[in-house]
């Protein structure tokens, strides 16, 4: 799970450097942005999915580095009395996925649509409890990740707003985005998920 937060840190540092360049009134800016979000698997691996990615667009081509972490649970019960049981969530394993994807991205005034596919390295841990003894089975395998994204962002240069409220600096293309992601992986443990994402960076050339 810790690998999931390394990519956003890199995104933030890189964005600061590009943000500084924008303040010098460059005529164009690179299309580069990061996003983080959560999803609920539709099929395959159950649980809660967290994802982050770094994206770079050149012309209509989109290059993406993606990290996905899925935490799985099962519902168990503990007997408090002969007539009362208490349900709780029990760890049933996790998945960590590192991916590199290539795709196509179409940008409108204040929204974008993209579709990508690529290759991934996956680490899957399955936890089970025979006779109430915790055991786990780990497997590492390649996969074919894919995703479809719809994002909305500011359509023109404006001052950057801290927490969406406090304006700072000069008008800039650097800003937030939000949207939806349909993603999955075709592999030994395939899955399909749908969720929401929040982004930060340059989402088009201004």
Write the CATH number for 16: 2.40.160.20
pLDDT digit string (tens) for 89-101? Answer: 788 899 999 999 9
Average pLDDT, the chain: 85
pLDDT band at 192 (very low <50, low <70, confident <90, very high): very high
User: In this model, does residue 186 exceed pLDDT 80?
Assistant: yes
pLDDT band at 160 (very low <50, low <70, confident <90, very high): confident
In this prediction, residue 24 carries a pLDDT of 45
User: In this model, does residue 144 exceed pLDDT 80?
Assistant: yes
Instruction: Compute the distance between CA of residue 147 and CA of residue 15 in angstroms, rounded to an integer.
Output: 23
Instruction: Compute the distance between CA of residue 15 and CA of residue 33 in angstroms, rounded to an integer.
Output: 8
| Contact (CB, 8 A) for 143 and 158 | no
pLDDT digit string (tens) for 105-139? Answer: 999 989 999 999 999 999 999 998 888 888 899 99
pLDDT digit string (tens) for 8-46? Answer: 555 554 554 444 444 444 457 899 999 999 999 899 988
pTM of structure: 0.81
Tally of domains within the chain:
1
Domain, as residue range, for 18: 2-202
* Residues 3, 193, 9: CA angle, nearest 5 degrees: 25
Other beta carbons within 10 Å of 76:
14
| Contact (CB, 8 A) for 32 and 201 | yes
Instruction: Compute the distance between CA of residue 145 and CA of residue 99 in angstroms, rounded to an integer.
Output: 7
pLDDT digit string (tens) for 49-59? Answer: 999 999 999 99
Instruction: Compute the distance between CA of residue 66 and CA of residue 116 in angstroms, rounded to an integer.
Output: 11
User: In this model, does residue 145 exceed pLDDT 50?
Assistant: yes
Q: SS3 sequence, 161-186?
A: EECCCEEEEEEECCEEEEEEEEEEEE
User: In this model, does residue 150 exceed pLDDT 60?
Assistant: yes
């Amino acid at each position: 799970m810790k690998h999931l937060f390394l990519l956003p840190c890199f995104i933030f540092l890189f964005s600061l450097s590009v943000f500084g360049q924008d303040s010098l009134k460059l005529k164009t800016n690179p299309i580069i942005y990061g996003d983080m979000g959560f999803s609920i698997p539709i099929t395959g691996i159950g649980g809660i999915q967290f994802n982050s990615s770094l994206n770079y667009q050149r012309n209509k081509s989109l290059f993406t580095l993606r990290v996905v972490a899925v935490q799985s649970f099962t519902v168990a019960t503990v007997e408090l009395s002969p007539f009362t049981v208490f349900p709780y969530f029990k760890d049933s394993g996790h998945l960590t996925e590192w991916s590199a994807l290539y795709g196509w991205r179409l940008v409108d005034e204040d929204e974008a649509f993209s579709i990508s596919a690529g290759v991934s390295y996956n680490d899957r841990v399955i936890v089970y409890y025979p006779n109430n003894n915790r055991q786990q089975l780990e497997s590492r395998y390649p996969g074919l990740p894919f995703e479809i994204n719809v994002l909305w962002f500011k359509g023109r240069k404006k001052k950057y707003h801290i927490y969406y409220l406090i304006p700072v600096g000069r008008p800039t293309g650097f800003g937030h985005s939000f949207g939806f992601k349909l993603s999955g992986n075709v592999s030994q443990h395939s899955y399909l998920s749908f969720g929401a994402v929040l982004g930060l960076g340059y989402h088009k050339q201004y």
